[in-house]
Amino acid sequence: MKYWFLLILTITISCTSQNQPSMEHPYTNDLIHETSPYLLQHAHNPVDWNPWGELALKQAKEENKLIIISIGYAACHWCHVMEHESFEDPKVAEIMNANYINIKVDREERPDIDQVYMSAIQLMTGSGGWPLNIIALPDGRPVWGGTYFPKGNWIDALKQITNLYQKQPEKLIEYATKLEQGIKAIDLIEVNTEAINFDPSFITSSVKEWSSDFDHQKGGTKRVPKFMMPNNYQFLLRYGYQTKDKALLEYVKNTLKKISYGGVYDHIGGGFSRYSTDGKWHVPHFEKMLYDNAQLVSLYSDAFLITKDPWFKDVVYETLDFVSKELTNTEGAFYSSLDADSKTTDGKLEEGAFYVWTKEELKKILEDDYNLFASYYNINSYGHWEKENYVLIRNESNQQFCKKNNISNTTLTQKVSQWKKTLFNEREKRFKPRLDDKTLTSWNALMLKGYLDAYSVFGEKDFLNVAIKNATFIKNNQLKKDTSLFHNYKNGKSSINGYLEDYAIVIEAFITLYQNTFDQEWLDLSKQLADYTISHFFDENKNTFYFTSDEDPDLITRTIEYTDNVIPASNSIMAKNLFLLSHYFNNRNYKSISENMLHNIKPQIKDYASGYSNWLDLMLNFSFDFYELAIIGKDAKVKLHELNSIYIPNKLIAGDILSSESVLLKDRFVEDKTLLYVCINNSCKYPVENIEDVTKMLN
């Protein structure tokens, strides 16, 4: 049950002298000592910014001052706009400094804080986003907030709330108490008292209800803006394949085609922007996030495995090339994002400046090839954005384009390759978008898995090497001796305790690494991390995991993340991990936790399936046959590569080239043979030596 509150400020009293402090106020911006690029962007504002911490919170209580909590991230365009309009303005800073304790938060470094105050703003206004600006009591409980505010509105709000707190503080305290109750109620998950039943018909009806929102023409859903939501299509791809639903598979294929043909995909440098501002995937919000690109690599790799569409392979390779060039450091770690904004030729920050083109530029660069290029990438009314700028977008396949323009596919392929090289080199002369060079453990694990999924499908050894280097980085730098994890890393320093998302996604990535290498170390580490997570995050009464460890300082509430979003919920990932680990280690407790987590979430799924797609993916494991495939013998890795050329989503793989004591391999090694075992429900078929025999059993 959700509680909705509205705080209406109707105070119109003009500011008194105490709201108009002297211009001689000394600035004490403490962000200069931080490592977060987002916080450092604000380190020279005239606002007395503090990082989140005990010192700032203690000061608010001692001085009995309201708190401004401003949350954003380095690649956020509207965060930059509000900074320039308000936080760089000395007069605005005077009002903030005199009447408030000002705290800046990087939402990517502190997702726990972001979750609490995002819940508050959604209760207050019905929506959310970034920048997220909250005014809270000295004890941190929110009383007012919103997202982006123009300078005038921001000043008016600050003055009115200051006056209200000075004259009638009991009103804000009463409201904060009610809002706190509402925030805590959001994360309540009721125990499902019905008998556990994961019947396939439940999934069918959930997908049917969901499908009413599908945009079969342009792909995605019938909404604007359009987010890629990789996990949605990962589930739908699997479900369509397992149920032989050709119409659903066609919808997913069309969606992936339209996304990668659109301007949200960087046709020159590879990689995806965060979302589309329009219905045809054309004009993106230009920031490029590591987590989007990681998951889309996994998705397009699987899509290639089913469709064998060479364009999907190109997308994977070009995206990983982008990640390698722009988001990878020498330690094998991945950076977080590239900014939406970059400088124009006259030095002004402007959204998308690095990526867009004018007709005149393209004509000069491409010369005789311009007309063909303009037709291919729609340098026309279809591809026009604003002013004289065009965002490259395709609207037909190479086959269709060749037929229309009477050229061979070989010729077109050569020309497209040359166009990309030419424009890439030209674009490199421009001012590049700012880089958020912090490393986040959870996002790194997503990218690690992306590389592994690409390796599994395409067999590119370089992809595996990058994955192993990153996994080793996480093990050596982010994993502590007590098997806990750090969340962040920059300049050789890790300082923030890991969240559930870090544990869940690292476990998932390490399991995937084991499945691609048969190196038992990664599977054992996964189990150790799972055990730590159960000890420090799990609530046995609610049968769910908190987002923060029991060793972290208390916030207003200890949140529970269970709704899948752009990144799947940490609880749904954890439930899938425990399902797999229960098989690998014959651990009934793992399976029981996983099963009960899914059972408790089930009542919420049917009316909002898109928000629970990763849970539905787990439900497929319980609802349909799920196979344990064991490969053991000297050619185990060769057989693994053959097996990975087939899309089999309802499986886990165990293997070794030698005799092993692991649960799924024990007593199965035969000298001079490589045997494959297909098992289901604790029952194994007679071992075979050929992949063809395995596929017959699975079919």
DSSP string, 419-477: HHHHHHHHHTTSPPPPEE--EEHHHHHHHHHHHHHHHHHH--HHHHHHHHHHHHHIIII
Strand partners, 221: 214
503 in Cβ contact with 514 (< 8 Å)? no
pLDDT at position 188: 76
How does strand 66-72 pair with strand 100-106? parallel
Torsion of CA 479, 483, 487, 493, to 10 degrees: -40
Q: What pTM, to 2 d.p., does this model score?
A: 0.94
527 in Cβ contact with 585 (< 8 Å)? yes
Above 60 in pLDDT, residue 23?
no
675 in Cβ contact with 667 (< 8 Å)? no
* SS3 of residue 289 by DSSP: strand
pLDDT at position 127: 86
pLDDT band at 683 (very low <50, low <70, confident <90, very high): confident
> Which tokens go with 216?
């079969």
- pLDDT per position as a tens digit, 238-274: 999 999 999 999 999 999 999 999 999 999 999 999 9
E strand or H helix at 101: strand 100-106
Distance, CA of 198 to CA of 622 (rounded, Å): 7
Above 90 in pLDDT, residue 19?
no
616 in Cβ contact with 649 (< 8 Å)? no
pLDDT band at 9 (very low <50, low <70, confident <90, very high): very low
Above 60 in pLDDT, residue 5?
no
pLDDT at position 539: 95
pLDDT at position 699: 80
- pLDDT per position as a tens digit, 384-436: 999 999 999 999 999 999 999 999 999 999 999 999 999 999 999 999 999 99
**CA distances (Å), origin 297, targets 474, 512, 519:** 20, 14, 23
pLDDT band at 581 (very low <50, low <70, confident <90, very high): very high
Above 50 in pLDDT, residue 21?
no
pLDDT at position 7: 44
Furthest C-alpha separation in the chain: 89
Nearest to 445 by CA among 356, 522, 357: 522
Nearest to 120 by CA among 194, 180, 169: 180
Distance, CA of 161 to CA of 157 (rounded, Å): 6
Above 50 in pLDDT, residue 692?
yes
Above 80 in pLDDT, residue 4?
no
Nearest to 355 by CA among 433, 261, 296: 433
* SS3 of residue 559 by DSSP: coil
Which DSSP category does 485 fall into? B
> Which tokens go with 605?
């799924």
3-state DSSP of 595-643? HHHHHHHHHHHHHHHHHHHHHHHHHHHHHCCCEEEEEECCCHHHHHHHH
- pLDDT per position as a tens digit, 522-562: 999 999 999 999 999 999 998 999 999 999 999 999 999 99
642 class by beta-carbon count within 10 Å (0-12 exposed, 13-18 middle, 19+ buried): middle
614 in Cβ contact with 564 (< 8 Å)? yes
> Which tokens go with 690?
């050929």
- pLDDT per position as a tens digit, 329-351: 999 999 999 999 999 999 899 99
CA atoms within 13 A on the CB side of 342: 22
pLDDT at position 27: 53
Average of per-residue pLDDT values in the chain? 94
Which of 3-17, 137-151, 597-611, 642-656 has the least mean pLDDT? 3-17
pLDDT band at 25 (very low <50, low <70, confident <90, very high): very low
pLDDT at position 3: 35
What DSSP string describes 566-605?
SS--HHHHHHHHHHHHHHHTT-HHHHHHHHHHHHHHHHHH
How many C-beta atoms surround the C-beta of residue 209 within 10 A? 15
How many C-beta atoms surround the C-beta of residue 402 within 10 A? 17
pLDDT at position 90: 96
pLDDT band at 28 (very low <50, low <70, confident <90, very high): confident
pLDDT at position 189: 83
Which DSSP category does 57 fall into? H
- pLDDT per position as a tens digit, 289-310: 999 999 999 999 999 999 999 9
pLDDT at position 681: 79
Above 60 in pLDDT, residue 167?
yes
pLDDT at position 640: 97
Above 80 in pLDDT, residue 11?
no
pLDDT band at 685 (very low <50, low <70, confident <90, very high): confident
pLDDT at position 222: 96
Contacts of 346 (CB under 8 A, 6+ apart): none
In this prediction, residues 460-480 reach a mean pLDDT of 98
In this prediction, residues 618-636 reach a mean pLDDT of 97
Which DSSP category does 478 fall into? I
- pLDDT per position as a tens digit, 188-228: 788 899 999 999 999 999 999 999 999 999 999 999 999 99
How does strand 66-72 pair with strand 49-51? unpaired
**CA distances (Å), origin 678, targets 105, 456, 643:** 50, 19, 12
In this prediction, residues 313-342 reach a mean pLDDT of 97
* SS3 of residue 524 by DSSP: helix
**CA distances (Å), origin 176, targets 130, 180, 317:** 22, 6, 50
Nearest to 291 by CA among 511, 567, 64, 105: 567
Distance, CA of 132 to CA of 139 (rounded, Å): 19
Distance, CA of 203 to CA of 602 (rounded, Å): 10
Distance, CA of 230 to CA of 295 (rounded, Å): 6
Percent of the chain with pLDDT over 70: 96
